[in-house]
Structure 1
């Protein structure tokens, strides 16, 4: 009888231990999982080497002012989209996607890369320093990013939309003399209806805008 009682007590202890382990595991599975980190995008590495074989004469230096983005939240790295089929007036941010830098800075770097293929691209400060050293003040290019978003025409189709306003001015004693102004609008279809497709299309659209802007400057003789 003592042996039977001992076996029964052991069985009860084992059963209680199993219940405890099950409760512990259930409690662990109920703990909140750490939030996933947003994916960061940029415009890619750009050209790996300068284009060879271009024997055209270099263009005069140009001062590129800091690109402004009046249509975007200053300093924000959010990847933005619009639902044209619902309310195109509302800009919405992806929750799990970010730019590596604010879009204005990414655009500025792409413009500098494109324009720098045939000319020296200066900042306003370095252009002023050059003038103080006896040189001439360079022509100033100012760029505003007015739209930089992925626009969904349906739940499955979207395109990037980049709109820049470029203003070219000649420094003068009384301020700046306007030489030209133009709005550049480029749309590129997104390969996928998500942040990955949208950011890739926005990078491609920015590259196209940079090329068109460079051609415009050459047409103005600048």
Structure 2
């Protein structure tokens, strides 16, 4: 009988004792990083003369969430995992859209708009995020991998001006979620720098052409001559 009473008291204590809740760490790219990047776009550097409509970057379904993804290259590179107690403040494509738009605004004389602005622009920039993960080559060594495809579209002719895929890798400082966030932010910073340089060069060449671009003229990107612009 005494044993039964003891078990009953233990069970009751288990019912009334509050459960420990694990807090979730939420990350973005940081205000300081935005400020540092903005200062890097000095007025004396090459600038964008044309106006851009930058649609929200898209991502595959598995990447369209706030989860922080990683892969184990030494086990199965085709499988993705997520950190249980760590996440992004917004899906990576949304965070990248905000950052890229801010960086473009820093070097643009024509302005950068979103679809919600309903403003006529010279070109449309379409972005597709393909990879945004931390890859573990060993249990204690990892790297960030960011892949993005950019398409520059002439708003008037609806023709593809240029298209390019960007691929950046950055070693992680720690084999954990915090290391993933820092490495992914650093890789994204480098990728955005390459993207801006590409935009400046393509628009400079495009605006140096005196005669209007014909619709059937081959685009500089391989494979596609025209592309349907997003409807507004």
Other structure's SS at 1:108 match: helix
Aligned residues, how many? 193
Check whether the contact 1:188–1:202 (CA below 8 A) recurs between aligned residues. yes
Asked if structure 1 preserves the Cα contact closer than 8 Å seen for 2:68 and 2:86, the reply is yes
Tell me if structure 1 keeps the 8 A contact 2:47–2:200.
no
Structure 2 vs 1, CA of residues 156 and 56 (structure 1 numbering), >3 Å: closer, same or farther? closer
Equivalent in the alignment of 1:48:
35
Aligned residue number for residue 38 of structure 1: 24
TM-score by length of 2: 0.75
User: Cα distance, 1:44 vs. partner?
Assistant: 1.1
Residue 124 of structure 2 corresponds to which residue in structure 1? 140
1:122 aligns with 2:113: yes
Q: Is the 8 A contact 1:140 1:169 kept in 2?
A: yes
C-alpha distance in structure 1 between counterparts of 2:116 and 2:11, whole Å: 63
CA RMSD in angstroms comes to 2.6
Q: Does 1:101 align with 2:83?
A: no
Is there any run of 5+ residues in structure 2 with no aligned partner, and where?
Answer: 205-232
Moved more, 164-173 or 95-104: 164-173
- Separation in 2 of the partners of 1:73 and 1:144? 11
The structure with the larger Rg is 1
- Deviation for aligned residue 1:73: 4.1
Shift of 1:118: 1.1
Q: Which residue of 2 aligns with 1:168?
A: 152
Give the equivalent residue in structure 2 for 1:217.
199
Normalising by structure 1, we get a TM-score of: 0.78
> Secondary structure, in 3 states, of the residue corresponding to 1:80?
strand
| Aligned match of 2:228 | none
Q: How far 1:34 sits from its partner (Å)? A: 2.8
C-alpha deviation, 1:57, in angstroms: 7.0
In the alignment, is residue 64 of structure 1 matched against residue 46 of structure 2? Answer: no
The answer to whether the 8 Å contact 2:148/2:166 transfers is yes
5+ residue gaps, structure 1, are: 1-15, 132-136
For residue 38 of structure 1, report the CA deviation from its aligned partner: 1.5
